[in-house]
Amino acid sequence: MTDLSRKRVITAALCGSWPTKQMSPYLPTTPSELADAAYDCWKAGAAIVHVHVREADGSPSIRYELYEETINKIRAHKDCDVCINITSSGNVDGPDSERIDPIIKLKPELASYDAGTLNWQHRTVFSNPPAFLEKLGYALQEANVKPEIEIFDAGMVYNTHYYLKTGVLKAPCHYQFVLGCPGGMPSTVENLCFLKNILPEGSTWAGCGIGPGHLPMMMATIAMGGHLRVGLEDNLYMDRGVLAKSNAELVTRAKQILELNNLEAATPDEARQIYGLTRKVF
């Protein structure tokens, strides 16, 4: 068995629901652009791609056909064994079934599980009510899809303690801290330490900061032993005022920073071992 102690998983969050092509012309939004971005990120060192889909006009979508086309195009790269993570929050206003069904049908290795509701960027409600979280938790267990538990605020971690007791979630869990989103916890080292310290024992975790918190949270996460998430969903810039020209550019930099710290980017199969994922690429 490979020694995984020096390996860190890089997830590439390709486009999210909020950034637009007006904000960055480099944002992938069509199934072909997303699949090309996923392939390039895998070549650059990402083990996992986190996928949202968009309608032709760029608006966020949860349409099954768009997920299917995007995943098929990623898998059409026969040399690429990247792990796929589908969001359950591409659009939070539709019925629960629309958020859950594409995941159950496509059976990716991971799917996001946003463990509570919060006021999103002072604009809207990021709605993840109890009934939805219960349905999603059980549906993911049945489909053998690992929840990527996204945490924007501390109460969301405590929700998962409850769901572990009730069986909606099963240990060991994997957590993704996303800090710096208005309405959630700011990107500070103190917040990251607090969240890490309240995780159930045996959990794996990754950290990321939105926008200006991107690099500081990456450095803190590396120092604290966590895994990484980069990508245009969270951060459009390489430097102050300089747009990242691709998701792969952000992955390449994260891999270099790992190597500066005498660490290595995990391969997809190593990520499967570290996060406890069932391999679904054959």
Binding site for Zn ion (CB under 5 A): 16, 87
Q: Cis omega before residue 172 (within 30°)?
A: yes
Closest separation in Å from C-beta 15 to Zn ion: 9
CB of 112 to Zn ion, least distance (A): 6
Q: Toward Zn ion, which CB reaches closer, 16 or 45?
A: 16
How far apart CA 117 and CA 45 sit, in angstroms, is 32
Tokens (6 digits) for 79: 């040399």
Q: Which is nearer to Zn ion, 7 or 92 (CB)?
A: 92
Which is closer to Zn ion, CB of 91 or CB of 203? Answer: 91
261 vs 151: CA distance, rounded Å: 26
How deeply is 200 buried, as exposed, middle or buried, from its count of CB atoms within 10 A (0-12, 13-18, 19+)? Answer: middle
Minimum CB distance to Zn ion smaller for 87 or for 191: 87
| Least distance between Zn ion and beta carbon 3 (Å) | 31
Q: At its nearest, how many Å lie between Zn ion and the CB of residue 62?
A: 12
Minimal distance, residue 87 CB to Zn ion, in Å: 4
Question: For 107-246, where are the alpha helices, taking DSSP H only?
Answer: 130-143, 154-166, 189-197, 214-223
Decide if 50 contacts 231 (C-beta within 8 A).
yes
Name which of 70 and 87 has its Cβ closer to Zn ion. Answer: 87
Give the Cα separation of 128 and 274 in Å (integer).
Answer: 27
Name the residue number minimizing CB distance to Zn ion. 87
Q: Which is nearer to Zn ion, 87 or 117 (CB)?
A: 87
Strand (E) or helix (H) holding 264: strand 264-265
Q: How far is it, in rounded angstroms, from Cα 99 to Cα 94? A: 7
CB of 118 to Zn ion, least distance (A): 14
Nearest-approach distance from CB 126 to Zn ion, in angstroms: 11
In the structure encoding, which two tokens stand for residue 146, read together? 């690992």
Q: Which residues, in sequence order, are CB contacts of 182 under 8 Å at separation 6+?
A: 120, 121, 122
**Of 206, 73, 222, 214, which is closest to residue 146 (Cα–Cα)?**
206
Q: Which is nearer to Zn ion, 87 or 267 (CB)?
A: 87
